Structure formats: C-alpha cells, structure tokens
A and B are shown apart, each in its own frame.
Chain A
Amino acid sequence: MESTNAAPDSARVEQLKAQIARTENELRELRAQLHELESSSSSSSTTQENHQSHHHAVETPVNPAPPQWKWPLKEEEYIRYGRQLILPTVGIEGQLRLKSAAVLLVGAGGLGCPAAAYLAGAGVGTLGVADGDTVEVSNLHRQIAHSTARVGACKVDSLVAYCRALNPGVTYVAHGEHLTPRNAAAIVARYDLVLDCTDHPTSRYLVSDVCVLLRKPLVSASALRTDGQLIVLNSPPAPQGSPAGRPCYRCIFPKPPPAASVVSCGEGGILGPVVGVMGVLQALEAIKLIAAGVGSCGDGSTTVKESSSTPSLLLFSATSATPFRSIRMRGRRPKCFACSADSTLTLEELKSGSLDYVQFCGVNTPVNVLRPEERISATHYNTILAERPGKQSVLLDVREKEHFDIASIPGAINVPFSTFQARNKATANGEEPRPEWLPENMSDDAAIYVVCRVGNDSQLVTQKLKEMGLDKNGTRFIGDIQGGMRAWKKEIDQTMPFT
C-alpha cells in the first residue's frame, strides 16, 4: 500500500470536494430519471392530463401529442452509438444486447479505469465496479478515470463519477469493497460478464472460482512494467465437467506462483499506456462477447454459444519488436480443482469461507535473517557519521539503479541486489576475489553498512557479504540499516523522494 503525505486539512478539502462532486452527480442522475419518468407517463396519458390541467383549453387543439416512439433504442441513443451501430460486429442487435447486459469490473485501477470508460461509452446497460481502495496520487499516471481533485475518495465512486459524465444513460453500481469469498457470489450473481482487473493472485483465483460456479464468462488481464497478458476464460461458460465449457484460470494456472516471485506494480513499476492497452483490450473482448450474444439472453439465463476459436492468451510486450503475440492455449483441465467433473467446489463451500485464498497463494513474509546486533537504525547510522567524520566506512545501497538515481544517501555506493545474485567465478584457490566496489585501501576494521528500499534485501546482502568472508572474522562490522530508505526518509531526511 502506498501512502499519501498530504496535510490533513487539504486532504479534508479534497474529500469534501469529491463528496460534493459525487452528490451533484447523484442529483443529476435523479433529475434525469425523474424527467424520463415524467415524459414517458405524460406521453401515455397526455389526453387525461390535458383535461385536468387545461380545462379552459379543451376545445382548442393544443400541441398534438408527440408521435409514439416506435424504435427499440431512444432517439439520443441512435446518435450516441451511431458510429458503432453501423459495424457488423455490433449492429442494432448487438447494441440491444449491450443495453441489456450487466458487466462487473473487479478492480477500479489501471485496468478497470480504461475498461470502464469504453464499456460505459459503448452503452452497456449496467456497469458494476467492485473495489475497496481509495484514490492515491501515485495511481494517477495510469488510472485515468480518477483525478487530482478526487485523491482520497473511494475508487469506485471516482470511477462511477467519471463514467457518468461520459454516459449518463448507463446504470452504475458501486460496490465499495474488495471481493471476498463471502461477498463474491452475491455480487457476481447480478451480472452477465466479469472483468478481472485486480492485481494479485488471491483475487484472480477467487474471481475465477466464482465465475465457474455462477457460469459467467471472465475477461482476465494483467500488467507489469512494460508487459501485459490477456485471456478470455470460461467462455462459453458451462457446468462443471461439461466438455462444452472453456478453461478457467485454474485450468491454465493450477498452482499459484511462489509468493516471493509475485511482483506488484508498486515494487516492479508499471508504464501507464501498457496497463491502459490491456484494460482497453478487456473492454473490447467484453463488447465482442456481449454483441455476439454470449451474455444475457433477456431471461436471465446465459446462453452457451459454440465458440469456433480455441482459447488464446495474448501477450503484449511494449519493448519487443513484435509487441503482440497470440498463444494457443489448452482447453479445460480434466482434473481442474474448479471446473472439472471431479471438482468438489460449491457455492456453499465458497460462502462458508473455508477456502483460504491467501493461504493458497502464500504470504510473502518480511525477511528476518539478521540478529539485532547486526542491524542499526537510520538515526544511529546518521549519528555514527556525524560523530566520527573521516572514519573509513562504506555504505552500500543495493536498490536497483533507477531507484538510486532518483535519490540516495550522500556517499552511498550503488550495487544493485541483482548483481549479488550473479554466479561468481571461483578463483583457483577457492577464495572469492575482492568485489569491485570495495575500496582497495580499505582497512580491515572499516565498517560496511547496507541499505535497501525497506530493509529486506539489505539483510540478505549483509548475510552474503559475511559468507564472502568480508567481515574478516569479526574484525569488520557488517550490518544493515533497519527499515531502509523508508526509515531514512522518516527519521533523517523528510525531503527525500521515496520510490
């Protein structure tokens, strides 16, 4: 979780602004609904109303009642959706299907924002958004539906406000909470199609399981750094064990990745247009599916349409010479935990909370490999420097170069964590050569301090340096700065940018 550092007063101001904006939008929506009801009731009972309110004018013909509207879409809708209506992919039938479809976005972030914008623009009947987070400044470079004025507001409210401004004709439902095993079925059941716009394996397995049980097609996407992935799952949906069904998330990824290998956008970074492309593609897949009739067929049931194409995974790599690649994927896994005939997964089991998705995916526990005497606080390090100026020591900053280039502690040497993972060429006598970063003339008792972002990697590097024999059998102190650069910012230099 990233944190904002706005003063409490200005945060309150922004919150109030956001609240006012939301309330104004709600009012607008209510007025539009009232207007619509009034105009439709007056057109069906014009004569009666004229008699009641215009007694004196009964004899003279007033404005004739507007001709009865005999087209399936509203007048404004033919204009608004005209450009997509004339495409064979949509057509009037597709547009009516869009209008009667209810789509749920799980996640109102980098994928959810662009996906919601295009789905709202295309005129889906109901657009639901589920997310429990609030808008942060660090979201804004990619989560384009939010705004600087809405920092601190609930993401679902912010996204709905954006979409409502774009197209007030859509019914919006804001679910201001994260999907959990307990609430997921009740939320998902109201929709025909689901978009997984979340950012963690736990939610991805949960969303998939619910979609299998409730038979909802699922458009899943993800992104990190400059890469993205997209796959349409469970489409067409079919009962567990049915060969007509398409694979679910568990068919493709039966085992979750080790927690240590899962990198978030906060840790790994993300380029806005990369996640934007993936979100837009999700909206595109959803529109294609709905317009083709895979969603609701009006009576609430879901059609099982024979899909001619085999499931495929789209890989996007912004820095590659061939940015888009489509990969043929397997069908349903015969022993799939969720969608196979053998599956014991039920809605009741899910709702009972007996499935622990967090435990299933594993938890990345903070590193704790050093003894307390091998670690010093940022304040302590700062004191050592101040009290003994000129005393020889080395401060190793093991963050990746991009972090180091943004801001670092004066005098620190950058040796990224990954370089410590490279295989060393053992020398003839079995001893490891002196690392390049270590000053040649350094005395055996000159300390080595290690700092990283939040104090995990620094412990591992400290351990590694000792294994390399650099502590000269205890003559030299090697230790890390507890809490890393985050602690340095908090305790020593509040101006330091923290990335």
Chain B
Amino acid sequence: MASIDTTPRKAADDSDIPNISIQVEFSGGLEMLFSSQRRHSLSLPATEQGTPITIASLINHLCNHTMKDTRKELFILDDHLRPGILVLINDADWELEGEEAYELQNGDNILFVSTLHGG
C-alpha cells in the first residue's frame, strides 16, 4: 500500500492540466474535523506529475487544505488513513476499488465515515 505524503505541497500551477470536480462527504463525526461541514465540492487537477490523481493524493489534499483542525492524527496515522475510517467510492467500499491507488474520476462521490461504537 502506498503511503500518504502529508507534507504540504505547492498547488499545481500548470494551468494546462484540466481539473476534475468531485464531491467529498464526511460522516460519523469526521465532519467535526472539517469545519462541521458534511459536503465539500472540490476541484482538483486531473493528473499529478503525469499520472492520474489518486485517493492518496485526495487524502493529502484534504489534510493540508480542507481540514481546519490541527488534530491530524484523528484523520491520518502512520502515513495512512487512521483505523476506524471507512472510505466509500460512489457508495462502494474502497477496498473493492483499489484503495489508496484508486484513480479519481470526474463526478466521483467520496465518503469518509468514522465507525461508530455506541449503542
């Protein structure tokens, strides 16, 4: 599994790269790390250093640009998404779609869900 690079990177300034639009949603309490906002519409460059943008890059982007909370460890742990967060790509478990290596498509809906334990 490729690890997620969390160091802030300069946004692509190559305007020749077309952008893709995606919907990102947070639920199960994760929205609290993202300004208590459940839905975020993002526009990202379709490729990164010549290769299509992956979920790993999206997670990196969310961590560095979208997240307003300093507690990154509640989202990323040891360079990967922390245990207890499910990623759902267009209503399917990301494990069915290649996990971090999944290449984002225009119009994708990516849902991050924190697992609940209460009862």
| Pair B83/A263 contact, Cβ less than 8 Å | no
Does B71 have its Cβ within 8 Å of any Cβ on chain A? yes
> Chain B residues with Cβ under 8 A from A109's Cβ?
119
Q: Once the chains bind, are A327 and B118 in contact (CB under 8 Å)?
A: no
In the complex, which residues of chain B have a beta carbon less than 8 angstroms from the beta carbon of A264? Answer: 117-118
Output the least CB separation between B68 and chain A (Å).
5
Are the CB atoms of A229 and B115 closer together than 8 Å? yes
> Is B12 on the interface with A (CB-CB < 8 A)?
no
**Which of these binds chain A: B15-23, B44-52, B53-61, B87-95?**
B87-95
Among B70, B77, B85, B113, point to the contact of A315 (Cβ < 8 A). Answer: B113
CB neighbours (8 Å) of A327 from chain B are 86, 88, 91-93, 111
Q: Given A227-B28, A421-B70, A423-B68, A257 and B82 touching (CB < 8 A)?
A: yes
- A197-B92 contact given A227-B27, A257-B83, A258-B84, CB 8 Å threshold: no
Which range contains the number of B residues in contact with the other chain?
Answer: 20 to 34
Contact B27 A224 (CB under 8 A): no
Per-position 1/0 for A221-233, Cβ under 8 A of B: 1111101110000
Say whether B117 contacts A262, CB under 8 Å: yes
Whole-angstrom distance between the alpha carbons of A186 and B73 in the complex? 39
B113 and A199 contacting across the interface, CB-CB below 8 Å: no
- Is B5 close to A, CB under 8 A? no
One digit per residue, 1 when the CB lies within 8 angstroms of any chain A CB and 0 when it does not, for chain B 107-119 equals 0000101111111
A222 and B116 contact, Cβ closer than 8 Å, known pairs A253-B84, A257-B83: yes
Is B32 in contact with chain A by the CB < 8 A criterion? Answer: yes
Report how far A275 CA is from B82 CA in the complex, Å. Answer: 25
A257 pairs with B118, CB closer than 8 A: no
| A325 and B109 alpha carbons, distance in the complex (Å) | 13
> Chain A nearest CB: distance from B48 CB in Å?
24
| B116 and A257 contact, CB distance less than 8 A | no
A307 within 8 A of B: no
User: In the complex, what residues of A have CB within 8 A of residue B85's CB?
Assistant: 257
Contacts of A315 in B (CB 8 A): 27-28, 113
Within 8 A of B (CB), among A266-283: 268, 270, 275, 278
User: What interface size band does chain A fall in?
Assistant: 35 or more
* B79 part of interface (Cβ distance < 8 Å): no
Docked-complex contact B69 and A330, CB < 8 angstroms: no
A458, CB-defined interface residue at 8 Å: no
A422 contacts which of B27, B70, B111, B113 (Cβ < 8 Å)? B70
Max chain A Cβ within 10 angstroms of own Cβ: one of B95, B96, B116: B116
Task: Give the nearest-CB partner of A262 in chain B.
Answer: B117
- Bitwise, A416-448 to B at CB < 8 A (1) or not (0) is 001001110000000000000000000000000
In the bound complex, do residue B119 and residue A328 qualify as a contact, i.e. CB atoms below 8 Å apart?
no
- Tell yes or no: A317 within 8 A of B by CB: yes
Considering the complex, give the chain A residue whose CB is closest to the CB of B35.
A422
Interfacial chain B residues near A228, Cβ < 8 Å: 116
Asked if A469 is at the interface (CB within 8 A of a chain B CB), the reply is: no
Measured CA separation A204–B115 after assembly (Å): 12
How many angstroms between the C-alpha atoms of A252 and B88 in the bound complex?
A: 12
Question: What distance in Å separates the Cβ of A302 from its nearest Cβ neighbour in chain B?
Answer: 25
Q: Which of B28, B91, B93 contacts A330 (CB 8 A)?
A: B93
Contacts known (A328-B96, A423-B68); A261 close to B119, Cβ less than 8 A: no
Known: A196-B119, A315-B28. 14 other contacts (CB 8 A): A222-B118, A222-B119, A224-B118, A229-B113, A253-B83, A261-B84, A263-B29, A263-B117, A263-B118, A264-B118, A275-B118, A315-B27, A326-B91, A423-B68
Minimum-distance CB pairs A-B, first 6: A257-B84, A255-B83, A222-B116, A265-B118, A224-B118, A111-B119
Sample 22 A-B pairs with CB under 8 A, ordered by A number. Answer: A109-B119, A110-B118, A112-B119, A197-B119, A200-B117, A201-B117, A222-B115, A223-B118, A227-B27, A253-B83, A253-B84, A254-B83, A255-B83, A257-B85, A261-B82, A270-B118, A278-B119, A313-B86, A325-B91, A327-B88, A421-B70, A422-B68
Interface residues of B, Cβ cutoff 8 Å to A = 27-29, 32, 38, 68-71, 73-74, 77, 82-86, 88, 91-93, 95-96, 111, 113-119
